[in-house]
Chains A and B, each alone.
Chain A
Amino acid sequence: MDTAVADLLIEGLWLMAIGLGIVFTFLVTLVGLLMLMSKAVARWGPEDAPPATGVAAHSIAPSPAADGDRLVAVVGAAIQAYRRRHRP
């Protein structure tokens, strides 16, 4: 094998070892930092308003019967308004 290429390959292998080492060190440290941050926020952070996903889940869920009645009322009113406006 060409010695120049062999040298380059060895250098490349070093680069791989160091590079992956740093990438992993960086991201593992970030994992730790994020966990600490989440714990700190949960402990000392302000009471957060319920996040958007939670709100969406709740607003769809409760009492389908009551919601259905309201829906019928709203749609009915809308149809009436539309007809009134578009009457020839």
Chain B
Amino acid sequence: MEALLTLWQSTGIANVTWRELLMLFVGLGLIYLAIAKRFEPLLLLPIGFGAILSNIPVAGMAGPDGMIGMIYHVGVETGIFPLLIFLGVGALTDFSALIARPSTLLLGAAAQFGIFATLIGALALNLLPGFDFSLADAAAIGIIGGADGPTAIFLASRLAPDLLGAIAVAAYSYMALVPIIQPPIMRALTTKAERSVVMEQLRPVSRLERILFPFAVLFLCALLLPSAAPLIGMLTLGNLLRESGVVERLSRAAQNEIINVVTILLGLAIGSKLSGELFLTTQTLGILVLGAVAFSIGTAAGVIMGKIMCRLSGGKVNPLIGAAGVSAVPMAARVVNKVGLSENHHNFLLMHAMGPNVAGVIGSAVAAGVLLALVGT
């Protein structure tokens, strides 16, 4: 009889709390979004499953001795996983569009306004009861506006590990929602004539330029902003592997095997931060709202900068490409292309939008470096 009682007490049914139960449903919800709606399935599926595993009562998989807890400790607490992803992003990204038209970097810079505006928004939320965001928390929330998953995870793991789960979920969910969030803002801020501007074809970029590019970025990072060196360093290494053309195997490994393995582990580790105590708070609700604000403001700032460039260049720049400045590669560039095509069926903006798009990646890495240097102690 006693043995039966002990057995009963070790079952999940006897131990489950309402929070764990609710988080199991959150995990299932994320998996549903990934499978049925194709929302960033590469990340939301492992995150959702990680959330389920971490909330199995008694098993303690997310605890310090649990499997997922250890993965988190090794990969996310140290910042290694997001950096390895950045290596892969560097190897996957073709910066030619940016090299051919460097001025599009300004669009990538303007879109980072979303990060800092959201930071202020998070601090202002402190006026409401139930919110208590420190400056570090607010900075980590603001980086959602960078629309760059690995950067957001990297910064959040440095500045506000407790909010990591909510921030990562918000960042990836809104990246999946870019095709819904961006077009109305883009249309509201531009006129029909501006949207149908046809841009000059980009000049071809030589191999030497593409090889020198990572060094130019890294050199500037070393001079001006060493705190961004981990992110920029891995990005440029990945890109050099790609462009050098002599280490095909390493480049392919970074683009496929490494990034895929790390994505699985990173998803599980983030899922472990979706535990009831950390996730089911009013703060999470605030973060989800702020995330949408961050994306919208970033998009608006990019488009406005696009309009300024359009005026200054005498109508040679289509302001729509500014919206791609919020990184979210390559989704944001595709959205720009689609909105442009709906105005003029022969106006393909995809290549032109790739410039600000990859500039956004560099821009949000720089912004993360600034926040780390100023807020992280």
Contacts and interface: CB of A to CB of B under 8 A. Distances in A.
Nearest to A44: B208
Given A12-B138, A41-B206, A19 B105 contact: no
A28 to B, nearest CB: 7
B59 interface: no
B207 interface: yes
Given A1-B127, A19-B367, A22-B225, A34 B99 contact: yes
Interface string B208-224: 11001100110111001
A20 interface: yes
A29 B366 CA distance: 13
B102 A48 contact: no
B204 A51 contact: yes
Contacts, number: 123
B279 interface: no
Interface size class of A (residues with CB under 8 A): 35 or more
Interface stretch (A2-10, A58-66, A67-75, A80-88): A2-10
Contacts of A13: 120
A79 interface: no
Interface string B110-152: 0011011101100110110000000100110000000000000
B105 A31 contact: yes
Contact of B204 (A11, A29, A45, A53): A53
B362 interface: yes
A84 B216 CA distance: 59
B374 interface: yes
Interface string B344-377: 0000000000000001001100110011001100
A33 B102 CA distance: 9
Taking chain A's interface residues, is the majority helix, strand, or loop, or is none over half, making it mixed?
Answer: helix
Contacts of B219: 33
Nearest to A14: B374
B316 to A, nearest CB: 16
A4 B221 CA distance: 35
Interface string A24-67: 11111111011101100100011011110110000000000000
Contact of B216 (A22, A28, A33): A33
A11 B138 CA distance: 11
Given A31-B103, A34-B216, A11 B206 contact: no
A16 interface: yes
A5 B220 contact: no
B205 interface: yes
Interface string B26-55: 000000000000000000000000000000
B224 A26 contact: yes
B204 A54 contact: yes
Instruction: Name the residue among B205, B209, B217, B362 with the largest chain A CB count within 10 angstroms.
Output: B209
A19 B369 CA distance: 9
Which 4 pairs of residues, A with B, have the shortest CB-CB distance? A16-B116, A34-B102, A48-B206, A51-B204
24 contacts: A5-B126, A9-B123, A15-B116, A15-B119, A15-B135, A15-B375, A16-B116, A18-B370, A19-B115, A20-B112, A20-B113, A23-B109, A23-B363, A26-B109, A27-B106, A28-B105, A33-B220, A34-B213, A34-B216, A38-B209, A45-B206, A48-B208, A49-B207, A51-B207
Interface of A: 1-2, 5, 8-9, 11-13, 15-16, 18-20, 22-31, 33-35, 37-38, 41, 45-46, 48-51, 53-54
